[in-house]
Structure 1
Amino acid sequence: MMITEIDKNTALVLIDLQKGIAKDTVHPVKDVLAKAAILANAFRLAGLPVVIVHVNPVGADWAKARVEKPSAPQNTVLQTIAKVAMPITGFTDIVPEIIIKPSDILIEKKTWNAFFNTSLHEQLQKLKVTGIVLGGISTSVGVEGTARAASELGYNISFASDATSDKILEAYNHSMTNIFPRIGEIGTTQDIISHLPVGK
């Protein structure tokens, strides 16, 4: 795992660090959130964009498809219940450890991929962003789903290994070992910060 370079115009993209998802991870979630917060502060200090993404899957087309292990309500009754329950439980609320600043870009997605049917790519292109640093939960779901799309769109991708986690260790290891090295570079929060461009 090694970061060789961070593009001059790079954005930090934090995936699904929300109350309904950022829990029950294979790494201590408080450590993952602390690293993500450190990254966000470092990017802001460097004058680089910070993107905070959350997911609200209720009513999404993929949730209507047949699957063996549904992860979102599939019928209208359950979807109606979820729409009422989510605001009460704070499912989509960003965790308090991640402070949202007025300069941050906020994205709501419906799928694993933060680029699909959102304004993320358009907003990054307006800022002439060519690289992204990814962190978040879960590694094998939202982070990997977004990374695959980012790769297809031609972004240089860096993964913050200690600012991401999963609910399943094997899934985390598979993404980190078999998928991410083929589409980007992997490093720790400190490694990424040490490569941030100076005097942007």
Structure 2
Amino acid sequence: MTPPRYDKESTALVLVDPYNDFLSEGGKVWPRVKPVAEAVRLIDNLRALHAAARKAGIQVAIAPHRRWEPGDYEDWQHPNPTQIAIMRRHSFARGEWGGDWHPDFAPRPGDIIATEHWAQSGFANTDLDQQLRQRGITHLIIVGLLANTCVESTARYAMEIGYHVTLVRDATAAYSEELMRAAHDLNGPTYAHAILTTAQLLAALPGPVIAE
């Protein structure tokens, strides 16, 4: 697959759920993600893409999950299995370390921080689309957690409303290799415009970016 052109004026790097609970040792969800994350060098690749995007002048956006608060989902008619798990383990709890940004991916001035999504799509019931379109963004590079849930749902929604979507195989993780394969080899080709590795994407970004 030939990488598309990524113009800095129209491209955004979208970080999905970059919380300590997902990405840091001691996080509530990290133990389930860790085997795949370490196998693909997730943290190193996210750091490389994050730094390269900023160096190239590409817009950085964060699509954060709802930070759990007492009472969340308890009186809902149809909480999904992920929401039930969050309700039980208090993932991404507001005001706690696990619900803070991983320090390497904390927002900086000029970043987009979308309103928090309650389910899996970073677009559904948030202001992410409006914030991107107001800045002339047409191309999205979507990374973060999890490959087969929030990343996939955010990317599918983006395609549906007209964005060019790039997935990055080794800048995401899931609970198993089978789920990673489903995300990138089975489902991804049905909606994504490009599915690249971190090295391929770094080589395609504008500016003097050199992969390590």
Cα shift at 1:17: 1.9
User: In the alignment, residue 190 of structure 2 is paired with which amino acid?
Assistant: R
Find the partner of 1:96 among 103, 106, 109.
103
Cα distance in 2 between the residues matched to 1:99 and 1:114: 17
Aligned to 1:31: 41
Q: Distance in 2 between matches of 1:29 and 1:62?
A: 39
Q: TM-score, normalised by structure 1?
A: 0.83
User: Which deviations, in whole Å up to 9, do the C-alpha atoms of 1:132-151 show, x marking residues without a partner?
Assistant: 00111110011001011011
Which amino acid counterpart does residue 48 of structure 2 have in structure 1? I
Residue 47 (str. 1) matches residue 84 (str. 2) = no
Partner of 2:27: none
TM-score normalized by the length of structure 2: 0.78
Name the CA distance, whole Å, in 2 between partners of 1:147 and 1:11. Answer: 13
Moved more, 56-65 or 10-19: 56-65
CA separation in 2, counterparts of 1:56 and 1:73? 13
* Contact 1:63–1:73 (8 Å) recurs in 2: no
Q: Deviations over 1:161-181 (max 9, x none)?
A: 111110122111101001112
For 2:37, what is the secondary structure of its paired residue? Answer: coil
The 5 A counterparts of 1:1-200 are 2-8=1-7, 9-22=10-23, 23=30, 24-25=32-33, 26-28=36-38, 31-56=41-66, 58=68, 59=72, 64-65=77-78, 70-73=81-84, 82=90, 86-87=93-94, 89-107=96-114, 108-184=116-192, 185-198=194-207
1:91 maps to a residue whose letter is: G
Relative to structure 1, is the Cα distance of residues 196 and 167 closer, same or farther in structure 2, using a 3 angstrom cutoff? same
1:34-57: CA deviation from partner (whole Å, max 9, x where unpaired): 211211111111111111222126
Alpha-carbon offset, residue 156 of structure 1: 0.8
Contact in 2 for aligned 1:19/1:91 (Cα 8 Å): yes
What are the ranges of 5 or more consecutive residues in structure 2 without an aligned counterpart? Answer: 24-29
Report the AA paired with residue 162 of structure 1.
D
Distance 1:175 1:41 in 2: 25
Q: Answer whether contact 1:18 1:94 (CA < 8 A) is retained.
A: yes
**SS of corresponding position for 2:206:** coil
Counterpart contact for 1:12–1:49, Cα < 8 Å: yes
Find the residue that maps to 1:178 and give its secondary structure.
helix
Residue type at the aligned position of 1:11: A
Alignment: residue pair count: 191
Residue type of the alignment partner of 2:128: L
Structure 1 unaligned runs (5+)?
none
Name the amino acid aligned to 1:5: P
Q: Which shifted more, 94-103 or 45-54?
A: 94-103
What is the alpha-carbon distance in structure 1 between the residues aligned to residue 75 and residue 51 of structure 2?
Answer: 34
CA distance in 2, matches of 1:167, 1:62: 28
Name the CA distance, whole Å, in 1 between partners of 2:202 and 2:113: 22
Answer yes or no: is the 8 Å Cα contact 1:54–1:92 preserved in 2.
no
Cα offset for 1:72?
Answer: 2.5
